[in-house]
Amino acid sequence: MRITPLDIQQKQFPMKIRGFDVEEVYAFLEIIREEMEDLLRENASLKENIQRLETQLKDYRDMETTLRETLMTAQQMVDEYKTNSRKEAELIIKEAELKADTILKEAQEKVIKIHEDIVDLKGIRRHFREEIKRLVESHLKMLEFDREREEETQTAEEGGESQ
């Protein structure tokens, strides 16, 4: 059974001969009642403080949990970002290498084509030279033939004049 300050205040003691000084007992009971009221108030205040602090502690723990989760999520995002960045960089490098290979192949093909064109042009030039040489030789022969005819004609005319 819990004793309240009201129980103390209302407590009655039977009177006996040669008993305690009633006023002193009641005065002492009043002091105890007041002390008990103070203790109960302090206890209630402390309970409120405990409740408030427990609520605060729960809030802080919740915040801590949220912060941990946020940090973990942020770390995961950073890790994913790094991984994605590496993959993207590797992809860019591979694409660049493929592009470089394609450019090199095209350049090599152009070089080969240019060499083929040079060989063809040399052949055409050689053929053209030969044709021009034949043409010049043919014209020279014609000129020589014409010159010989003219000389024969002149010789024949000179021979016909002397007769």
Residue in the structure block whose two tokens are 């006996």: 16
DSSP state of 163: -
Does residue 131 register a pLDDT over 90?
Answer: yes
Residue 126 CA to residue 75 CA, distance in Å, equals 75
Distance CA 29, CA 152 (A): 177
Q: pLDDT at position 1, please?
A: 56
Span 8-64, pLDDT tens digits:
778 777 777 777 777 888 888 888 888 888 999 999 999 999 999 999 999 999 999
Sign of CA pseudo-dihedral 76, 82, 85, 90 = negative
Q: Whole-prediction pTM value?
A: 0.44
Taking a C-beta distance cutoff of 8 angstroms, is the pair 9, 33 a contact? yes
Whole-number pLDDT of residue 160: 63
Judged on CB neighbours under 10 Å (0-12, 13-18, 19+), 141 is: exposed
| Among 3-12, 24-33, 128-137, the range of highest mean pLDDT | 128-137
